[in-house]
């Protein structure tokens, strides 16, 4: 897997940053889709888990580097790492994300905005970090000079857990950001910076957002968990993890329709092979053409 993939959206220079990988149950990842269908796309291991990328995005903006999602981070236990098959150790930093960031010439201190699509551990875990061998110490901000951005409803949702959601929302990924006064919460569709727009795409969780990057009549979309892999492009291919799958269906229908019509570049956060693609459709369904 290539650590960095660089591409342009108009004059905006963008980099996908590989923050390692995880392994999740294939049946859960594909919901009602039968295994004989989904395993043609992504093979499962002996524990029925499929490998998934932890792909983040860095946008070089005139205001400074903007990072979208932060992977799993380095705070979890050995048991957690085994269950979820996490592989993300860094050589020069706490995790592979920092290695990828340095590959494109930036340090964590340079990042001015961190945008979380939502606060699940595999999207916001790298918001904070602990030193190696410092178990029990309080997490610190991974990007100390950044403003962290999330939908206001998502931050509230992540704090009011139940039996279904508790395993995904881990307070040490987002409460230290609150304690440092670094959250900027938004509501609904918002232009964060010229050319970077936050777009609500609910379903996976009620306040999930995707991110549009636009310049000079070109647009890219960081999908988050709305369409986690290229295999999930067909409308009914929806994760069992989604809290509101019928809402996901409508979010996908609207966004993929725009993407196909307007020729967007799609950025898949979890696909182990396809980082970028474009959406086409025939009379029956949408499908992805890798870029």
Q: What's the pLDDT tens digit per position in 115-166?
A: 999 999 999 999 999 987 556 679 999 999 999 999 999 999 999 999 999 9
**CA dihedral angle for residue 82, residue 51, residue 252, residue 6, rounded to 10 degrees:** 110
Residue range(s) defining the domain that contains residue 247: 4-290
We report the CATH number of the domain holding residue 267 as 3.60.15.10
pLDDT digits (tens, 9 = 90+) for 259-271: 999 999 999 999 9
pLDDT digit string (tens) for 173-195?
A: 999 999 999 999 999 999 999 99
Tens of pLDDT, residues 218-247: 999 999 999 999 999 999 999 999 999 999
Structural domain count of the chain: 1
35: its two tokens: 């295994």
Q: Which of 210, 190, 194, 212 is nearest to 202 (CA)?
A: 210
* Residues in the chain, overall count: 291
Q: How many whole angstroms separate alpha carbon 231 and alpha carbon 266?
A: 13
What mean pLDDT comes out for the span 9-20? 98
Say what the pLDDT of residue 282 is: 86
């Amino acid at each position: 897997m290539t650590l960095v993939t660089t591409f342009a959206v108009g004059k905006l220079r963008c980099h996908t940053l590989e923050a390692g990988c995880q392994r999740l149950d294939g049946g859960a990842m594909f919901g009602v889709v039968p295994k004989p269908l989904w395993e043609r796309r992504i093979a499962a291991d002996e524990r029925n888990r499929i490998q998934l990328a932890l792909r983040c995005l860095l946008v070089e903006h005139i205001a400074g580097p903007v990072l979208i999602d932060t992977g799993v981070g380095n705070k979890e236990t050995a048991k957690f790492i085994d269950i979820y098959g996490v592989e993300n150790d860094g050589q020069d930093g706490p995790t592979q994300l920092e290695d990828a960031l340095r590959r494109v010439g930036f340090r964590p201190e340079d990042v001015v905005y961190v945008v979380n699509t939502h606060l699940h551990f595999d999207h916001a875990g790298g918001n904070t970090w602990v030193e190696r061998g410092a178990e029990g110490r309080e997490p610190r901000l991974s990007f100390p000079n950044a403003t962290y951005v999330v939908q206001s409803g998502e931050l509230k949702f992540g704090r009011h857990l139940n039996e279904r959601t508790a395993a995904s929302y881990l307070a040490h990924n987002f409460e230290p950001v609150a304690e440092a006064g670094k959250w900027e919460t938004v509501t609904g569709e918002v232009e964060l910076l010229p050319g970077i727009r936050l777009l609500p795409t609910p379903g996976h969780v009620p306040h999930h957002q995707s991110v549009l990057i636009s310049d000079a009549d070109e647009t890219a979309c960081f999908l988050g968990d709305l369409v986690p892999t290229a295999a999930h492009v067909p409308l009914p291919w929806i994760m069992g993890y989604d809290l509101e799958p019928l809402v996901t269906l409508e979010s996908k229908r609207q966004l993929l329709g725009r993407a196909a019509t307007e020729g967007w570049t799609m950025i898949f956060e979890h696909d182990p092979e396809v980082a970028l693609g474009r959406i086409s459709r025939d009379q029956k369904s949408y499908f992805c053409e890798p870029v």
